Structure 1
Amino acid sequence: MVQLLTPDGTRVEHDEFRFDGTTEDLVGYLKDMILARRFDAEATALQRHGELGLWTPLIGQEAAQVGSAHALRPADVVFPSYREHAVAMVLGVPVTNMLSLFRGSNGGYWEKLDSFKNYQIVIGCQTLHATGYAMGLQLDGAVGNERDDDNAAVIVYHGDGAASQGDVNEAYVFAASYNAPVVFFCQNNQWAISEPIALQSRIPLYQRARGFGFPGVQVDGNDVLAVKAVTDWAMARARAGDGPAFIEAFTYRMGAHTTSDDPTKYRERADEEAWRGRDPIARLTTYLRGMGAIDDAWQDAVEAEAKEFGAAARAAIPTLEATTMERLFDTVYAEPTVALEAQRREYAEFAAALEEDA
């Protein structure tokens, strides 16, 4: 496993991967992780208050998301699953996009779709979308150019549970067959809802990549330095035309799978406590404090900013416009079809019948 910062905040070296960023970069990464955790907590509270229909907590996975997001360039494209809130925030996606989706307000259409595609609720489908998009980059001549700035690649996020899906394995096959410039970033948070990783795979997930014909690397997903270094490597080789790669970010879902889940029914408290000792925010804080890069004043200022950020997230809820079925029908296709119009009429008749019975 690639690790550059131990859980107790000690910097270590690795034979193949190194972090090339600055201390200033790390201070920025820490701030990103703190803000992402605050947003996550606010969204969870909003769901508990009935303002969101559901929420998918990211707590514990901040380093995997922030580190990988900072390895991306403007021309790269992200295909997320449904938990990549920190990736979205780093790339400038408004948090109202995520709130709207889980509130059911906007039909799921997002800003910044050129670089960050819609969340995918259906497990694993985004890997096929990402692989097809990556193949399109090849056809457009955006891969393997002599001038590196002319190149682009795709990163697709999925969980350990999704790695058991047929769609995901088909995406691996196509990516390898066409040498597509796509990086599969698997956040192995140890649990596919209530199923542990030991029931899904007899070998570490990153070793599966070899069977498909491309390299796989396991990285400490709670170490933002290591995640950034490994993702830099994978994205660079993809942009250069060297094909796909698989990253297994070995992390832990400190919270529930979703707000409808109760992890105390299937997880041991001792296991949770052990992983809390590997908290990605705590370890980077320890390291930066030891260097003198941050102090109490810095932390107080970031906490104040996080508080304001959380208040802004709460204040955004009343501004989210409720969608209607009519609007949803209007946005399925650019031009209406005969079948769609038949469905629209069928729904209108159904809704009218409900009103008569009320």
Structure 2
Amino acid sequence: MQDRNHLARVETTHQVHIIENGLIDIPMLQILKPDGTLHDEAQEPALSEDVARKMYDTMEYIRVLDERMIGAQRQGRISFYLASTGEEAAAVGSAAALSPDDMIMSQYREQGALAYRGYTTSQFMNQMFSNEKDPNKGRQMPIHYGDKALNFMTISSPLGTQIPQAAGYAYGQKMAGNDAVTICYFGEGAASEGDFHAGLNMAAVLKCPVIFFCRNNGYAISTPADEQFAGDGIASRGLGYGVKTIRVDGNDPLAVFAATKRARELALEERCPILIEAMTYRLAAHSTSDDPTGYRSREEEDKWRAKDPIQRMAKWLQQKGWYDEAANKQLIDETRQEVLKALKEAEKVSVNPIEDIVNDVYDEVPWHLKDQLDNLKDHIRQYPDAYPKTSGRVK
């Protein structure tokens, strides 16, 4: 019988023994140099030309989408946006290593993972414009995507809520005997939430097949990492909870792919959680409400621009003979046209009936919500010029 006494595993000492920070040196997996060449000791992961091209094309697509939607927010066409500039490899490289049956629980900067799975430009736009074609019926902020058919759980605004949820969902996958895992994305700032610790501990104790994927991009909005924690990043926390851990260069698409593929194999073989810490950098502002010039320098940003994941992969593709510069330029131009066309179409679609604010919340709408809805309708009727004619279609 297994000895369940945890003290049976503990070595004893007879003098005061202090364990200092940095006792364990956690290495970072890196396959590609910034110039796109392989490190001498590195081995390429098994990537077909089709998968490699899809990864690269998706990263280019997301960068175009981000640029266009930031512009749309500045024009007042949407209210809010979060770009993933500089972090595309973390989301796309990891998504490429998954099975379509694996559940994705995202934070709010993983649009690349959703696009890789097949989410269309029109679907992105309908959600961001909160129109009638938005499956969330306009009740979420922009960039709070979700798609049941693609196994992508709807994003929540509060930080960290998806982490214990991912542990629970993965436990359900394990109990059902499914050949699938859950991947849960979050930033290093969200790792300061209590949900992070609860989720990792739950997954470790119950041996849930979940990949906790932390994008350590250097800042929790304006707070740099060295003001968030004194330990060795987020990877050291996984070890503390008894979770197998990998640290990877988050700007290296091949390394992210290889790390996630191995993590998935282990999660299924051993029915256990894995923590991946992807070391990357947020070149964009935290959101369209943020101005990063107030807390970091241009020189700091330029150092990371030299490590751009899209340029790194493009150079690798060139060396493989899988990249054509003229064809890539045409792809980017066509993507810009596609995004602009979908944007113009989505903003013309009517918004949802105002009743959808309270519908689907309860089996029957309770009296207090009916009263609030009536008061809102009266307010809009009283001040019709302050609201668009399509706003809620008040009768």
TM-score (norm 2): 0.82
Name the amino acid aligned to 1:265.
G
Name the amino acid aligned to 1:186.
C
1:135-154 alignment runs, 5 A limit: 135-142=171-178, 151-154=179-182
Runs (4+) of structure 1 exceeding 4 A deviation are 353-358
| Corresponding position of 1:9 | 36
Pick which of 198-207 and 182-191 moved more.
198-207
Q: 214, 227, 231: which is aligned to 1:186? A: 214
Task: Assess if the C-alpha contact under 8 Å between 1:94 and 1:111 holds in 2.
Answer: no
Task: Assess if the C-alpha contact under 8 Å between 1:237 and 1:243 holds in 2.
Answer: yes
**Identity percentage of aligned residues:** 33
Task: Assess if the C-alpha contact under 8 Å between 1:220 and 1:250 holds in 2.
Answer: yes
Q: Does 1:50 align with 2:76?
A: yes
Q: 154, 169, 189: which is aligned to 1:118? A: 154
Separation in structure 2 between the aligned mates of residue 168 and residue 125 of structure 1, nearest angstrom:
8
**Structure 1 stretches of 5 or more lacking a match?**
143-150
Q: Is the partner of 2:153 in helix, strand or coil?
A: coil
Task: Assess if the C-alpha contact under 8 Å between 2:121 and 2:338 holds in 1.
Answer: no
| Corresponding position of 1:252 | 281
Task: Assess if the C-alpha contact under 8 Å between 2:85 and 2:282 holds in 1.
Answer: yes
Name the amino acid aligned to 2:260.
T
Name the amino acid aligned to 1:138.
K
Deviation for aligned residue 1:254: 0.6
| Corresponding position of 1:299 | 328
Separation in structure 2 between the aligned mates of residue 110 and residue 229 of structure 1, nearest angstrom:
26
Asked which structure has the greater RCO (Cα within 8 Å, sep 6+), the reply is 1
Quote the RMSD (CA, aligned, Å).
2.1
Task: Assess if the C-alpha contact under 8 Å between 2:129 and 2:347 holds in 1.
Answer: no
Task: Assess if the C-alpha contact under 8 Å between 1:194 and 1:263 holds in 2.
Answer: yes
May I ask how many residue pairs the two structures share in their alignment?
A: 346
Deviation for aligned residue 1:160: 0.9
1:1-358 alignment runs, 5 A limit: 1-12=28-39, 18-105=44-131, 106-108=138-140, 110-112=146-148, 115-142=151-178, 151-202=179-230, 203-333=232-362, 335-336=363-364, 340-352=366-378, 355-356=381-382
TM-score (norm 1): 0.90
Separation in structure 2 between the aligned mates of residue 325 and residue 341 of structure 1, nearest angstrom:
16
**Structure 2 stretches of 5 or more lacking a match?**
1-27, 132-137, 385-395
Relative to 1, partners in 2 of residues 1:341 and 1:31: Cα closer, same or farther, differing over 3 Å? same
Question: Which of the pair has more CA radius of gyration?
Answer: 2
Name the amino acid aligned to 1:272.
E
Deviation for aligned residue 1:322: 1.3
Separation in structure 2 between the aligned mates of residue 205 and residue 13 of structure 1, nearest angstrom:
28
Deviation for aligned residue 1:283: 1.0
Pick which of 110-119 and 281-290 moved more.
110-119
Relative to 1, partners in 2 of residues 1:165 and 1:120: Cα closer, same or farther, differing over 3 Å? same
Q: Is the partner of 2:246 in helix, strand or coil?
A: strand
